[in-house]
């Protein structure tokens, strides 16, 4: 009787946060002036996952 070898189970990957794609950071546009002219983007912490990159339930 052969024993069945079971492959080591990998831990399931945590659900990825949507807004930051799992990076924990989001690029937010930087605007200046009255016209709110966009001057670029700045990396900011993702408020959906607080920088963990994992989707919270
Ligand atoms: Zn996030």
pLDDT in tens, 4-34: 888 888 888 779 999 999 999 998 888 889 9
User: How far does the centroid of ligand 1 lie from the alpha carbon of residue 27, in Å?
Assistant: 11
Tell me: pLDDT of 45 over 80.
Answer: yes
User: How far does the centroid of ligand 1 lie from the alpha carbon of residue 33, in Å?
Assistant: 28
CA distance 32 to 15: 35
- For residue 12, what are its two tokens? 């399931």
User: How far does the centroid of ligand 1 lie from the alpha carbon of residue 30, in Å?
Assistant: 19
Tell me if 53 sits within 8 A of 20, measured CB to CB.
yes
* pTM greater than 0.75 (yes/no): no
pLDDT of residue 38: 82
CA distance 17 to 44: 15
DSSP 46: -
- For residue 37, what are its two tokens? 């002219």
User: How far does the centroid of ligand 1 lie from the alpha carbon of residue 2, in Å?
Assistant: 47
CA distance 48 to 56: 8
């Amino acid at each position: 009787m052969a024993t069945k070898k079971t492959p080591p189970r990998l831990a399931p990957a945590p659900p990825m946060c949507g807004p930051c794609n799992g990076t924990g950071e989001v690029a937010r546009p930087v605007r200046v002036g009255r016209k709110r002219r966009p001057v670029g983007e700045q990396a900011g912490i993702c408020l959906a996952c607080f920088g963990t990159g994992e989707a919270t339930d």
